[in-house]
């Protein structure tokens, strides 16, 4: 029993990080109906920034979010205004966002590969190899820090959406875009801000990725598949769903890795995606799918 609890702790820590990784993706879909296939490449690009800030300037990867998040926010707002706002009126907007973000992902991946080559990178701050005990349970320090920071950022995001005027506007747009316009929400401005926040969350995720997971440019395809599985399980556009989905799949994949082997971990995500689409296409907390 203790062994299972230990594995569950590993899974929860991992799930907490996955929740942050997926939160930006689900926010982009919820507010702007953008299926952002470039979200994971935003994370990988941010991981490179955190990695080189650590290697060359000695800045701790977790502290690097102080400048990576604002940088990515501005980048996200710029990308939205330059590209997505131009196709807002299209009858096939959602399909076009898939193609557009696919193109953005290929382009950024190419730039990263050209500049940094395809070799694996991973920052190695001191706490990466440290661990501590809570009772009988081992807690890896690096994963613990990342999970706690994810928690803080997700609570911050929740409070922002819950208590600020812009947050009200974002939530209203997520729930009913036309009605939001009719009560005076400038949905283009709110969408640009939301895409900026989504990119900033990718920035924070990248800072964590830089030391938690080895990365190279092409790796983002594997990540976007996992993140889409999380978001579909939770319900496209539902932040609560993304968090719950991440925790469930984090624990489930840790148990599978422990019981069967490390190669089977990702299989949990694809199996969950397959099952949820068959049984409950709207996910755990998503809106009803209509024809």
Partner 1 sequence: MALLEVRDVDAGYGAGPNILKGLSLEVEAGKSYCIIGPNGAGKSTLLKVISGLLPTRAGEVTFRGVPFNGARPDQVLAAGICLVPQEQAVFAEMSVRENLVMGGYLVKDRGLIKTRMDRVFELFPILAERASLDAGKLSGGQQQMLTLGRALMIDPDILMLDEPSLGLAPQVADQIFATIRDLEDLGITIVMVEQNAVRGLQLADWGVVLDLGIVRFEGPADTILEDQRIRELYLGKAVDAGDAP
Q: Out of 179, 260, 267, 275, which residue is the one contacting partner 1 (CB under 8 A)?
A: 179
Contact 206, 49 (CB under 8 A): yes
Helix (H) or strand (E) holding 138: strand 137-140
Q: Give the residue with the Cβ less far from partner 1, 13 or 243.
A: 243
Q: Which stretch binds partner 1 (CB under 8 A): 124-132, 169-177, 195-203, 206-214?
A: 169-177
Told to check if 66 binds partner 1 by CB under 8 A, we report: no
Told to check if 152 binds partner 1 by CB under 8 A, we report: no
| DSSP symbol at 207 | H
Q: Out of 102, 168, 213, 221, which residue is the one contacting partner 1 (CB under 8 A)?
A: 168
Q: Give the residue with the Cβ less far from partner 1, 38 or 161.
A: 161
Angle CA 231–210–50, to nearest 5: 110
Torsion of CA 186, 187, 191, 192, to 10 degrees: -30
Q: Out of 58, 126, 135, 184, which residue is the one contacting partner 1 (CB under 8 A)?
A: 184
Told to check if 288 binds partner 1 by CB under 8 A, we report: no
Q: Which stretch binds partner 1 (CB under 8 A): 57-65, 181-189, 217-225, 271-279?
A: 181-189
Q: How far apart are the first and last CA of the chain?
A: 46
Contacts of 190 (CB under 8 A, 6+ apart): 31, 166, 169, 170, 173, 180
What is the nearest approach in angstroms of partner 1 to the Cβ of residue 191?
A: 13
Please enumerate, as own/partner, the contacts of 192-195 that have beta carbons within 8 Å and a separation of 24 or more. 192/77, 192/80, 192/81, 192/85, 193/77, 193/166, 194/27, 194/28, 194/31, 194/32, 194/170, 195/28, 195/31, 195/32, 195/34, 195/76, 195/77, 195/79, 195/80, 195/84
Q: Give the residue with the Cβ less far from partner 1, 138 or 183.
A: 183
Q: Give the residue with the Cβ less far from partner 1, 87 or 183.
A: 183
Q: Give the residue with the Cβ less far from partner 1, 169 or 206.
A: 169
Q: Which residue stretches of the chain are H helix?
A: 2-32, 39-57, 65-82, 93-116, 141-163, 165-175, 177-182, 187-212, 220-234, 239-259, 265-279
Q: Out of 96, 181, 213, 280, which residue is the one contacting partner 1 (CB under 8 A)?
A: 181
Q: Out of 94, 138, 183, 267, which residue is the one contacting partner 1 (CB under 8 A)?
A: 183
Told to check if 172 binds partner 1 by CB under 8 A, we report: yes
Told to check if 85 binds partner 1 by CB under 8 A, we report: no
What is the nearest approach in angstroms of partner 1 to the Cβ of residue 237?
A: 11
Q: Which stretch binds partner 1 (CB under 8 A): 109-117, 163-171, 195-203, 223-231?
A: 163-171
Q: Which residues bind partner 1 (CB under 8 A)?
A: 91, 165, 168-169, 171-172, 175-176, 178-186, 188
């Amino acid at each position: 029993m203790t062994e299972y609890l230990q594995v569950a702790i590993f899974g929860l820590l991992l799930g907490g990080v996955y929740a942050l990784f997926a939160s930006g993706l689900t926010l982009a879909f919820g507010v702007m109906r953008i299926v952002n296939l470039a979200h994971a490449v935003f994370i990988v690009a941010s991981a490179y920034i955190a990695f080189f800030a650590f290697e060359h300037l000695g800045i701790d990867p977790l502290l690097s979010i102080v400048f990576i998040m604002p940088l990515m926010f501005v980048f996200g707002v710029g990308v939205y205004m330059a590209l997505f706002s131009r196709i807002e009126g299209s009858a096939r907007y959602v399909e076009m966002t898939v193609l557009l973000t696919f193109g953005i992902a290929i382009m950024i991946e190419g730039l990263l590969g050209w500049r940094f080559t395809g070799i694996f990178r991973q920052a190695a701050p001191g706490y990466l190899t440290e661990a501590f005990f809570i009772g009988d349970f081992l807690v890896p320090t690096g994963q613990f820090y990342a999970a706690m920071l994810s928690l803080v950022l997700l609570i911050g995001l929740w409070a922002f959406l819950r208590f600020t005027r812009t947050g009200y506007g974002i939530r209203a747009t997520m729930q009913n875009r036309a009605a939001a316009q009719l009560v005076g929400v400038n949905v283009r401005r709110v969408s640009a801000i939301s895409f900026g926040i989504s990119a900033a969350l990718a920035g924070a995720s990248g800072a964590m990725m830089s030391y938690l997971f080895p990365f190279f440019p092409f790796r983002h395809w594997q990540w976007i598949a996992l993140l889409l599985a999380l978001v579909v399980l939770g319900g496209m556009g539902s932040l609560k769903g993304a968090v719950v989905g991440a925790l469930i799949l984090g624990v489930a994949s840790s148990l599978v890795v422990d019981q069967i082997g490390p190669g089977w971990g990702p299989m949990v995500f694809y199996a969950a995606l397959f099952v949820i689409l068959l049984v409950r296409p709207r996910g755990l907390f998503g809106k009803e799918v209509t024809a």
